[in-house]
Amino acid sequence: MNWMELGKEVIEGKELSQAEALSILESDDDELLSLLQGAFMIRKHYFGKKVKLNKIINTKSGLCPEDCGYCSQSSVSTAPIEKYAMMDKDTIVEGAEKAFKQNVRTYCIVASGRGPLNRDLNTVIEAVKEIKSNYNMKICACLGILNDKQAQSLKEAGVERYNHNINTSADHHSQITNSHTYEDRVATLEKVKTAGISPCSGVIVGMGESRSDIIKMAEALREINADSIPVNFLHAIPGTPLEHLDDLNPRYCLKVLALFRFINPTKEIRISGGREVNLRSLQPLGLYAANSIFVGDYLTTDGQETTADHQILEDLGFEIDFLNEPVQV
């Protein structure tokens, strides 16, 4: 496959066939650099060499009634994580201040649970209002399943983006959780879109899915029209039902990132959880396909030092995107 030619066709509006999408995931490792070159052509066309920095704050940890097999916070997990109720407003705001000083411009307020309790939602809303009045940051909330009123309340508070991952394909969903449906997740995304909030939705790769499932995920997110797509790679945590899965290697992870860029060329593709443990020494190459990363720690697992991520960008000749807007080049 001529990946550069395919990249040009994608920029011109082509949608990949199933065979072309599968050929990315099945490509020989010897083709990896040329594949990434094709992905970078697309990425550079829409985003230049800018990289968006995002930071998570886990405002409520554990205590979740859902049975998601990958999650250390779920009801079926025995992982020894820290568990706590919703943080107070001031702690959430202090996290934003710290993130801003680290050149982060998208602050992600996350809470465990099926959906937000009213008192927790009110805490988030008050924190968002204060953050927006003091810092030039975009706010992404990730609070679980929402109703229409909750989505509208977040919009009015100043939340620009809402994350609710599809996590896997519709076909594979029942292998990961049975406490909610794939359709429940899509419905929440539709509610936030109706409220005027930018939808963020992504996946977790490495949960026993097939290559066909991965293609279906990327295509589903194109259909949902998610503006931001976090691509997580399973960090198998002892004590979770998926603790035994360890099938990923850095080269395959890079092919997955390339696939998502080819299928969702104009969207923010973010290398998310599991980046450090799965991409390892090849982390920098991921940014030839993706244009966004999380910095710092994740929900219950450690990330690397933010200064290390800044160094990666400098070494690549890339720059931090302070405006959080695509640029045409």
Give the H/E segment covering residue 142. Answer: strand 138-142
Q: What per-residue string of b and e applies to 88-109 under the rule 16 or more CB within 10 Å gives b?
A: ebeebbebbeebbeebbbbbbb
Indicate the pLDDT class of residue 326, thresholds 50, 70 and 90.
very low
Report pLDDT digits (tens) over 161-184. 999 999 999 999 999 999 999 999
**Domain-by-domain residue ranges, the chain?**
27-320
End-to-end CA, the chain: 26
Is 114 annotated as belonging to a binding site? no
So what's the pLDDT on residue 77? 84
So what's the pLDDT on residue 324? 46
Q: Left, alpha or beta for 32 (phi > 0: left; psi -120 to 50: alpha)?
A: alpha
Interior CA angle at 158 toward 157 and 161, to 5°?
Answer: 120
Is 142 annotated as belonging to a binding site? no
Report pLDDT digits (tens) over 26-47. 999 999 999 999 999 999 999 9
The least confident of 62-76, 112-126, 154-168 is: 62-76
Indicate the pLDDT class of residue 300, thresholds 50, 70 and 90.
low
Is 253 annotated as belonging to a binding site? no
So what's the pLDDT on residue 63? 83
Give CATH for domain 27-320.
3.20.20.70
Catalytic residues: 64, 68, 71, 108, 140, 200, 270
